[in-house]
Structure 1
Amino acid sequence: MATIKDVAKRAQVSTSTVSHVLNKTRFVSPEITRRVQEAISTLNYTPSALARSLKVNNTRTLGMLVTSSTNPFFAEVVQGVEQRCYELGYSLVLCNTCGDTNRMQAALDMLQQKRVDGMIVMCTHANLDQSAFAHHTTMPMVMADWGPVELNADLIKDSGYEGGRLATEHLLALGHRHIGCITGPAGQQASDERLAGFRAAMMDAGLTVTPDWVQHGDFELEGGKAAMARILARPQRPTAVFACNDLMAAGALRAVADAGLTVPQHMSLIGYDNIELAGYLVPRLSSIEQPKAILGALAVDALLERIHHPHAARRVLPLSPSLVIRESSARLAI
């Protein structure tokens, strides 16, 4: 493998001149630049990213931790992060934690050892506090959607409470009064906030939440299917259900079909996240939009700002949800 010394020897210049041509850090005459570039091409020379990182103390590489990149919501956010990294000339190292705290710790250790410039953390683990990041306090971080309030890391926050209210108010506006909710695991911030928004909207409408119609899922297809099956097994069923993410809503659609019912004729349904799949389900799913590409780009921009200003005060950057109406939610037939 060719080295910078080989390039310098072939071009008959110094190694510092080769460096200036590569990094455009000083004017080099067109003739010498041509000779260096021809030498680089002939020798198939590739500059060492590791050597450069040791010299300038950065790698232009960011790390990202997500619960699962196979989940469509996380996948769409990761796509936004990767696009922004590409635009700014950064590389991305992606790690899946699979909801495992030990795996998350191993990923944090690995990313720090790889000398990434900073990390984006998007892991909805319950009951984690600042101690989970005790060995990584010097690493610039941005938390997306969740994060310990004690940690000096910027937080991009989905307004789950507002989104839960928005979904429920949409069903109320359609005339529904008997409304259920499929929520995520108790103790996870996204799950708790969306459920709280649902309860608040019901209370503001003067309605009582029926406990049997509030069932916990796991933010996955099977959890949504099982939760809806439990709702449908009750002596009375609601006329509409708010599922706290689109994957659970898709699973709930399957349970409704298995029961010989249809959406929205027998039950209206609305999800959360507005993943791409929502527009391809039958019927197409009404959902609460989280701007995933914007979230990804904002996470990168916020992290670079944190890298350049490591001692700046912690910022909370809110994202506002919006309602996307499709065929799965319909006016209640009188």
Structure 2
Amino acid sequence: MATMKDVAKLAGVSTSTVSHVINKTRFVSEEISERVNKAAKELNYYAPSALARSFKVNRTKTIGMLVTTSTNPFFGEVVKGVERSCYQQGYSLILCNTEGDHQRMHESINTLLQKRVDGLILMCATLEGEHFDIFEHYADIPVVVMDWGPMQFTSDKIQDNSLRGGYMAAKYLIDAGHSEIGCITGPLDRIQAEMRYNGYLQAMDEAGFSVEPSWVVEADFECEGGYNAFTQLHANGTLPSALVVANDMMAMGVINAANELGIQIPEQLSIIGYDDIHIAKFMSPSLTTIHQPKYRLGQAAVETLLTRLDEPETAPRIIELEPTLVERNSVKSLRS
């Protein structure tokens, strides 16, 4: 079955141009229109969305968002930024969650597109690398992705500078006098976890400190994962003096496990987290962490989507937001 992409290739134009010709959403010269229509006829192409999209002359002022369900409040805080920005821009938000299920993700995307949303925001990091044929039939609908790895479709991307954040976390511990520093990472097949770990390695290398393999444990970005990772690290033998933990939820699990084992924080073990979720300052002790601008991530996603609606022909963009350090009470300075 021919796709809009096939028509574009045969006609020598972009997929968005094909969409504009078929849906009559923008003026296209007579010559190009003839080429597109001829290619579509030759390939026997009839876009499933063409009839529906032909009725969409004006925007519906609706944005769809797909997010992975998680116990991590990080996602809720980002969604809050998206929701508030939509409201301020006069848009409605339709929110769907995937619960980590591939089929549900595809069905949700199909549902949102059928509801004629003006654009999509995708935030499903556990499902990176997916291929979506459906986007070829809705080429004129912009997509913005957040917290996701390599794409197999065209989109703008919003992300935090995870490499910088991981580096800042380890560097803060080093500056506090620590040299024996371990790391509890997120799942390293995810780009954010890999970059935070690489940042930690970079800071350790710059300081001339070796990384003890038994002090590095991979976990899952959830509280229970942090708890189990620290239990494993403790069972390995001698503990480091400090830990970089790749997100605040795992840090919460680490603190809980340490308390059960009678290890005092920060007197015996210093911990720095990542994300700065709202409850981080209410942990005991309050958590020193790397602040990820969650509200701004959501806001930037909406702004980028609306810009893409007005400027559909511009090249895809990657917008990277910078992390900052939040000092609280979970790190002990070893400096005299």
Q: TM tier, shorter chain? A: 0.7 to 0.9
Aligned residue for 1:148, secondary structure, equals coil
Matched with 2:211 is 209
Contact 1:122–1:143 (Cα < 8 Å) also in 2: yes
RMSD over aligned Cα atoms? 1.7
Match of 1:227 among 206, 215, 229: 229
Matched with 1:321 is 323
Matched with 2:124 is 123
- Which whole-Å deviations, capped at 9, do the CAs of 1:206-242 have from their partners, x for residues lacking one? 1111111111111111001000111111221111011
Aligned residue pairs: how many?
280
- The AA in structure 1 aligned to 2:187 is P
State the Cα distance separating 1:109 from its structure 2 match: 1.0
State the Cα distance separating 1:151 from its structure 2 match: 2.9
Matched with 2:9 is none
State the Cα distance separating 1:296 from its structure 2 match: 0.8
Where do 5+ consecutive residues of structure 2 fail to align?
1-53
Q: 1:165 to 1:255 in 2, by over 3 A?
A: same
Matched with 1:135 is 134
Does 1:157 pair with 2:159? yes
Aligned residue for 1:94, secondary structure, equals strand
Contact 1:126–1:187 (Cα < 8 Å) also in 2: no
Aligned residue for 2:126, secondary structure, equals coil
Contact 1:221–1:251 (Cα < 8 Å) also in 2: yes
Matched with 2:44 is none
- The AA in structure 2 aligned to 1:134 is D
Distance 1:69 1:287 in 2: 20
Aligned residue for 1:196, secondary structure, equals helix
Aligned residue for 1:242, secondary structure, equals strand
Distance 1:94 1:147 in 2: 21
State the Cα distance separating 1:59 from its structure 2 match: 1.4
Matched with 2:183 is 181
Matched with 2:289 is 287
Contact 1:126–1:188 (Cα < 8 Å) also in 2: no
Contact 2:100–2:127 (Cα < 8 Å) also in 1: no
Contact 2:289–2:327 (Cα < 8 Å) also in 1: yes
Contact 1:108–1:136 (Cα < 8 Å) also in 2: no
Q: TM-score, normalised by structure 1?
A: 0.80
Match of 1:169 among 171, 184, 195: 171
Contact 1:182–1:215 (Cα < 8 Å) also in 2: yes
Aligned residue for 1:105, secondary structure, equals helix
State the Cα distance separating 1:288 from its structure 2 match: 0.5
Does 1:66 pair with 2:67? yes
Q: TM-score, normalised by structure 2?
A: 0.80
Matched with 1:257 is 259
Matched with 1:85 is 86
Matched with 2:33 is none
Q: 1:224 to 1:70 in 2, by over 3 A?
A: closer
Where do 5+ consecutive residues of structure 1 fail to align?
1-52
Distance 1:162 1:151 in 2: 27
Distance 2:67 2:169 in 1: 26
Matched with 1:114 is 115
| Larger CA deviation: 134-143 vs 85-94 | 134-143
- Which whole-Å deviations, capped at 9, do the CAs of 1:236-260 have from their partners, x for residues lacking one? 1111011101000001100100101
State the Cα distance separating 1:147 from its structure 2 match: 4.3
Matched with 1:40 is none
- Which whole-Å deviations, capped at 9, do the CAs of 1:146-187 have from their partners, x for residues lacking one? 243553211112111110000000000111111111111121
Match of 2:244 among 242, 245, 252: 242
Distance 1:153 1:218 in 2: 27
Aligned residue for 1:209, secondary structure, equals coil
Aligned residue for 1:307, secondary structure, equals helix
